[in-house]
Chains A and B, each alone.
Chain A
Amino acid sequence: MKYAIFVVLALLLAAIAVANPFILEPAGFLAFVKRAAPLVILAAGQYFVIVSGEFDLSVGSLVTVEVVVAARLIDGNEAATWPVLALLIALGLLVGLVNGVVTALLRVPSFITTLGMMLILSGAVFLWTGGAPRGALSQSFRVFGRDTLWAVLITLAVGAAAVLLTRATYGRTLIATGDNERAAALSGVRVARARILAFVISGLAAAIAGIMLGGFAGVSAQVGQGLEFSAITAVVLGGVALGGGRGSVVAAMGGALTLEAMFTLLNLYGISGALEYTVQGVIIVAAVAAGAVQLPRLFITPRKGDAHAS
């Protein structure tokens, strides 16, 4: 049940293979993974935030910021690649830190915090570049998103790190926090710190996804548009509950792959661009409804009064 999303993914891949057997070949499959890589990485980051009971709406604009900043600073200069990469990572971490501190310590709902961050980021970056992205990426920068081997390796590394993190002490306490904040706090968990770190992870994931998308899709002001919703959708498709405490990061990344497979399939069958959104919307709501309808019955909590039988 936990990994039901992979059954869906397999079915979608099979359906793709019927029309286009290339995807069954290693090269074809890897190309598919490369295309999905940024979303998979964003979903992995978003997973940590959602499982702790919060949202991160700022990742889309953070991706745009990363790409635009990279292009302006590198401006075709190969030598600048590595310092800029370090700076981009630092930027992602910083944005996550601010999101986390405002949400966990100042207690602003994360929806608002990250919405504000979204406005601030997109405003600030274009303020800095004067309205339109300028400059160019270097070849050695573009390789991460464009070269299949690099893209797949990075995705695998991020995936492995995410899995290890969810199994580590931090991940377990974070999930427990999302499930029952009070019980976690009364067990000595530093709840605020755990949440802040979740936002930092999400920021880091957005930085990595931005670096890859810059290589893959090139520099534009729209590169990150809507990615926050795609990432949240992917995570939810993977069976991770909004509100926290439930779901696995592997399934969240599976949700991202499934979303990408769905796009591919819809393209293949000529429902290009346009109606694919419609189909996507219906599937997402249906998937969540299917999950929700059975949940409340399993999850029986006693009425308030019962705990105080006198």
Chain B
Amino acid sequence: MSTIDVSLEVAVLSMRRIGKSFLGVRVLSDVDLDAQAGEVHAVVGENGAGKSTLMKILAGVHAPDSGTISIAGSPVTFRHPLDAQRAGVAIIYQELTLLPERSVAENVFLGREPLRRGLVDRAAMERETSRLLLELGESSFGARDLVGRLSVAQQQVVEIVKALSVDARIIVMDEPTASLAEHEVELLYDLVRRLRERGVAILYISHRMREIFDLSQQVTVLKDGVRVATRATAEVTQGELVSLMVGRELSHYYPPRAGPEETGEVLLSIRGCGNAKLRDIDLELRAGEITGVAGLQGSGRTELAKAVFGAEPFTHGEMTPLRPRSVREAIAAGIGLVTEDRKAEGLALRQSVGDNALLVARAVRRGAAARVRELLDRVRLAPPDPDREVRYLSGGNQQKVVLAKWMTVSPKVLIFDEPTRGVDVGAKAAIHELVRELAREGMAVLMISSELPELIGMSDRILVLREGRLVGELPAGSSEEAIMHLAAAEEAA
């Protein structure tokens, strides 16, 4: 098929003036997006730009408030993910949706196993799966292997085969390289090219500049729920792209940074530490200082937090006052962690505010019950009612409860992994102020965030993590471009 044919065809996918609000907050406004057969269309934008929401609308997970979706020229309405699937849209999520205890073929054909005389035709299933694997040039595993034994990259291939087996014409890949090792990325590149040759339209979501320029023909930039630009990738430079993505106005006022006189002694020092996910980590955290950590998804951000906190400990290297081998050791050494996923890892949702606030204090048997009310006031929980179940609180108030939980034991070092994820704007400012306040009182803060404005607004210095290593340190107030270049770009930086 020639390129001319493709460009003359009707776009396989055409999303027009898509709008969506959650709880009155506008997430997408009038977004247009087209995709052509045999084309990789990159969708880029910062956290909160609306990429995920747009893709979930395409997948039938969310219904749009306004706008239309057409596939191959005819309008469609998706009420359920299955509707989208039937229309030929497949999404490959970052968390893979496979059954580890079943074979590759069984996963590929789950829910629509081919029948022969009323019975599942296992041979056909395996044959078809093998054929698709072969077409994709995948020979490292077979149709009969258990999915649970495959690597993440191989599982991604299974997802792609699954998409192809339903004749998906549009495949959305959400940060597909985030959890891949370097050599696996090359394989993914090959795969994407083969999918193009098959005439599949690919929407490729990524932060990584190199991938965008290596793979895509078109690129659409989203910012704050609005489409900023759609360009042919060949006609845009990396610098232009970055400046289209960033440059957002600071959404609110950040508390003033620490002056040099406020930065005190070293409370935690890490020398040459590492584990399976992290290498050669050198890091010093000082009293009164907020150290920011930037990095793309999969760069080891959360792993760093968990390692310092002893939850997924460093296996080698030196750390003072000690290298914790368990969470309890870390807590005893005065280290705390505000986790990224509040609901799964931070709170017992069906327990009261008071019980959650006291969880750490009780676990390590340090009396703080008397101080709970005082602490809830201090974190500005509104209303400061210790008896409410936390699941009824807003994201911001829940995060304040997590903060209170750590403040009961007065840690010397507090790590924040995405401190304001899922938090509304008002509570965001309150949490930022609290973090600064804690630093000012002599705490050392390590703050990991994928929201660059937040990182820049809050940090006294910013470390950049890439592929499990700290690759650079930037001073306070560095630009988003500078951070992005270090974190995303490789040779081009």
Contacts and interface: CB of A to CB of B under 8 A. Distances in A.
Find out whether A and B make contact in their complex, taking CB atoms under 8 A apart as touching. yes
Interface of A: 169, 172-173, 175-176, 179-180, 182-190, 245-246, 299, 301-310
B203 to A, nearest CB: 13
B362 A173 contact: yes
A60 B405 CA distance: 40
Contact of A183 (B47, B174, B344): B344
A188 B364 contact: yes
A172 B362 contact: yes
Given A176-B356, A179-B351, A183-B347, 6 more contacts: A172-B355, A173-B362, A182-B345, A189-B359, A299-B391, A309-B48
A310 B348 contact: no
A179 B348 contact: yes
Interface stretch (B98-106, B162-170, B335-343, B461-469): B335-343
Contact of A173 (B174, B205, B339, B363): B363
A309 B348 contact: no
Nearest to B52: A309
29 contacts: A172-B351, A172-B355, A173-B359, A173-B362, A176-B356, A180-B345, A183-B344, A183-B345, A183-B346, A184-B359, A186-B311, A186-B339, A186-B346, A187-B359, A187-B360, A187-B363, A188-B328, A189-B362, A190-B328, A245-B348, A299-B350, A302-B343, A305-B93, A305-B94, A307-B344, A308-B52, A309-B47, A310-B52, A310-B205
B207 A310 contact: yes
A216 to B, nearest CB: 37
Interface in B326-379: 327-328, 331, 337, 339-341, 343-351, 355-356, 358-360, 362-365
Contacts of A310: 47, 51-52, 174-175, 205, 207, 297, 450
Most buried by B among A179, A299, A304, A308: A308
B310 to A, nearest CB: 10
Nearest to A189: B363
B95 interface: yes
A305 B52 contact: yes
B47 A188 contact: no
Main secondary structure of the interface of A (DSSP, over half): helix
A252 B455 CA distance: 49
A60 to B, nearest CB: 29
Contacts of A305: 52, 56, 61, 93-95
Contacts of A308: 52, 94-95, 297
Nearest to A303: B61
A180 B47 CA distance: 28
Contacts of A245: 348, 350-351
Nearest to B450: A310
B355 to A, nearest CB: 5
Contact of A188 (B331, B340, B450): B331
B102 to A, nearest CB: 19
Contact of A184 (B47, B337, B348, B391): B348
A304 B52 CA distance: 12
B297 A179 contact: no
B351 A175 contact: yes
Contacts of A187: 327, 359-360, 363, 405
Contacts of B309: 186
Interface residues of B, number: 47
Interface of B: 47-48, 51-53, 56, 61, 93-95, 174-175, 205, 207, 297, 309, 311, 327-328, 331, 337, 339-341, 343-351, 355-356, 358-360, 362-365, 391, 405, 421-422, 450
Contacts of A184: 348, 359, 363
Contacts of B95: 304-305, 308
Contacts of A302: 343
A178 B327 CA distance: 19
A167 B427 CA distance: 31
Contact of B350 (A172, A182, A246): A246
A176 B348 contact: yes
A223 to B, nearest CB: 37
B431 to A, nearest CB: 18
Nearest to A194: B363
B365 A185 contact: no
B65 to A, nearest CB: 17
Contacts of B347: 180, 183
Contacts of A175: 348, 351, 355
**Closest 6 CB pairs between A and B?**
A179-B348, A188-B363, A176-B348, A189-B363, A169-B362, A187-B359
A180 B356 CA distance: 11
Contacts of B174: 310
Contacts of A301: 343
B406 to A, nearest CB: 9
Given A172-B355, A179-B349, A186 B337 contact: yes
Most buried by A among B51, B205, B356: B356
Contacts of B51: 310
B482 to A, nearest CB: 21
A239 to B, nearest CB: 12
A189 B360 CA distance: 7
Contacts of B53: 309
A188 B327 contact: yes
Contacts of A304: 93, 95
Contact of A176 (B205, B345, B351): B351
B394 to A, nearest CB: 13
A183 B345 CA distance: 4
A301 B340 CA distance: 16
Most buried by B among A169, A176, A184, A306: A176
A80 B47 CA distance: 74
B365 A169 contact: yes
Contacts of B205: 310
B360 A183 contact: no
A302 B340 CA distance: 15
Contacts of A189: 359, 362-363
Contacts of B297: 308, 310
